[in-house]
Structure 1
Amino acid sequence: MTTPWPYPRWIAHRGAGKLAPENTLAAFRLGAQYGYRMFECDAKLSRDGIPFLLHDSTLERTTDGTGTAGEFDFAELARRDAGSWHGRAWAGEPLPTLESVARYCLANHFFLNIEIKPTPGQELETGRVVAAQAAQLWAGAKVPPLLSSFRPESLAGAREAAPHVPRALLLDSLWEGCIEQARQLGCVALVCKYTLWDAALVARTHGLGMRALSYTVNDAAAADALLALGTDGLITDRVDLFSPAA
C-alpha cells in the first residue's frame, strides 16, 4: 500500500535542465519562471565537509577550476565561476551550498530532490552528512526533501543519519537484487532511467509500496507513455516544453 505522495509530478532537472548553468541558484530561478515547483540537484562534500551542488567529480566541465572537487575546502570552491561555461550572461555564477538552495526552496515553498553524488570513496559519509543537514534545514517543514542516489552505501548513510527523511534508489539498469535492495533500505521510490519502465515494473514497484519516477524525460511521446503506465514523477531538462501544471 503506497502512502500519500506529497511531491509534484514534474521535476526540473538540475534546476532548469539545460537552459541555465546546472546546479546553480540561477538555474533554480529560471526553472521557477517556467512554473516548476520541484527541482532535482546533485550534492557532494567539500574537503571540509560542506554539502554543495555539483554533478561531476571534477570541476572542469562546469566551472573554471580543475581537479577533484571534493579535494578542496568550500572557501576555495566558492571562488569558482560556475556560469561562464554556459554563456556570458551567466558569468560569475557561484557553486551554491546545499544550505543556500534549501533556504531558497523553503522561502518559496518549492520541493527538492537531492541526489547524493559522492566523490568516489566517500559514499557512506556523504549520505550521512547530506541527510543530517537536510533534516536540520527542513526541520518543521511540512514536506521534507527526497534524497536519492545510485549508491546504496550513500542511502544507507542517509538512513543512519536521518531515517525520517525519505529516500529513493536511482537505477540506470535493473541489476540483480536492485528492487530488494531498495526495499531493505526503506526507500519510498525507485527513480529509473525512463526506458526501463514497463507495466510489470510499475506494478511491482507500486505493489511494494514505492513510487515510480523517471529520468530524464525530454520528449512528449516518452512522457505520454510513462504517464499512461501510471508512473508518479518525471524529471526533465525540457522545462520549456512541458508545463508542470499539466
Structure 2
Amino acid sequence: MSGRPDRLSWLTARPFAHRGLHGAGISENGMAAFDAAIAAGCGIECDVRASRDGVAFVFHDAMLARMTGVAGSLDARDAADLDALALPDGGAIPRLAALLERCGGGVPLLVEIKVQGRTVAPLCAAVARDMAAWCDAPVAIMSFNPLVLRWFGQCAPQVARGLVLTQQGKGAVRGMIARALALWLGKPDFLACDIRDLPSPFATHARAKGRPVLTWTVRSDDEQARAARHADQIIFETPRD
C-alpha cells in the first residue's frame, strides 16, 4: 500500500454503479448509464479498452458483437470507426476522455483496465494520457492484471490503483499463490474483491492494515448486507428491466 489514506477517502464515500446505472433500455458503459449514476449521486465503475490507434474507449468485451451487433474486436478498429458504432440504446461507445469530462473532476470514477498478458503499456499509456488532465480528480484505475498496476506505479504513481480479485474457479493453494504474486507485483492502494468470496480472512486482514476493500458485483439485499459487514464500499447493479 502506498500510504495515502487521505487521498483514498473518496473510495469509500459512496457506492459505485457497475458500468453505470444501466438496464431498462439504458446500455451498460454508455453515457446515458453514466448520466443516470451521476443523477443518483453514485460513483461510476467502467471498463476500458484501446482502439487500434491507441485511444481509450469505455467498453467491457474484447469483441464488439454483443453490444454493437458488429463483428470483430474493438482493438482491430481505429477510433474514428468506433465513434461511428452505436450501443443498443443508440448512444455511441464513449471515449474515456469524454467520460472524464462528464464527471468533471467531482464524480468518483473507477476505471477497470481490460488487458491480458504482458503487453499492457499501450492501453495503460492511453488511459494515463486521458487522466493527466484530471490529476486532482477522484479517479482510480484497477485491473485483474497486476502488470497494469505495476505500470502505473512506475509511470504514473500519482494515480490510485486497485487490484481486482476473485477466488472463484481456483483451488485454495493456487489461488493463494496467484494472489500473493499479484500483490507483490502490483502493490495496490486498494482491493476490489468478488462478493462471492466474502467473508474472507484475507479481506479482513487487508482492512485491518488500512487498505480499503471494495466488493463487486453486489446485486441483492443479502449481498449488500454481507458487503456492509465485510467490505468498505460496494460496486453494484440494480435490476432495472
Same-fold call, TM > 0.5? Answer: yes
Counterpart Cα distance in 1 of 2:43 and 2:207: 22
Counterpart Cα distance in 2 of 1:70 and 1:119: 13
- In structure 2, stretches of 5+ residues that fail to align are 168-174
With normalisation by structure 1, the TM-score equals 0.84
Q: Which amino acid aligns with 2:5?
A: T
Task: Describe the shift of the 1:199–1:57 C-alpha distance in structure 2 as closer, same or farther (beyond 3 A).
Answer: closer
Question: In structure 1, what is the equivalent of residue 84 of structure 2?
Answer: 79
With normalisation by structure 2, the TM-score equals 0.85
Counterpart Cα distance in 2 of 1:127 and 1:197: 30
1:96-134 CA-partner distances (Å, limit 9, x unpaired): 100000000016x21100000127664333123313421
Are residues 1:236 and 2:236 paired? yes
Q: Which amino acid aligns with 1:11?
A: F
Task: Find the partner of 1:155 among 142, 149, 160.
Answer: 149
Task: Describe the shift of the 1:188–1:47 C-alpha distance in structure 2 as closer, same or farther (beyond 3 A).
Answer: same
Aligned residues: 227
Are residues 1:6 and 2:10 paired? yes
More helix by share: 2
Contact 1:60/1:66 (<8 A) preserved = yes
RMSD: 2.2
Identity of aligned residues (%): 25
Q: Which amino acid aligns with 1:6?
A: W
- In structure 1, stretches of 5+ residues that fail to align are 85-89, 241-246
Give the 4+ runs in structure 1 shifted more than 6 A. Answer: none
Q: Which amino acid aligns with 2:144?
A: F
Q: Secondary structure at the match of 1:61?
A: helix
Structure 1, 96-105 or 172-181: larger mean CA deviation: 172-181
Are residues 1:30 and 2:9 paired? no
Counterpart Cα distance in 2 of 1:81 and 1:233: 32
Structure 1, 231-240 or 7-16: larger mean CA deviation: 231-240
Counterpart Cα distance in 2 of 1:125 and 1:175: 29
Question: In structure 2, what is the equivalent of residue 189 of structure 1?
Answer: 190
Structure 1, 169-178 or 114-123: larger mean CA deviation: 114-123
How do 1:61-140 residues align onto structure 2 when only pairs under 5 Å count? Answer: 61-82=66-87, 84=88, 90-91=89-90, 93-106=91-104, 109-118=106-115, 122-134=119-131, 136-139=132-135
Counterpart Cα distance in 1 of 2:83 and 2:101: 17
1:158-185 CA-partner distances (Å, limit 9, x unpaired): 2222111000000122442414532542
Task: Describe the shift of the 1:2–1:194 C-alpha distance in structure 2 as closer, same or farther (beyond 3 A).
Answer: farther
Contact 1:127/1:155 (<8 A) preserved = no
Contact 1:45/1:52 (<8 A) preserved = yes
Q: Secondary structure at the match of 1:214?
A: strand
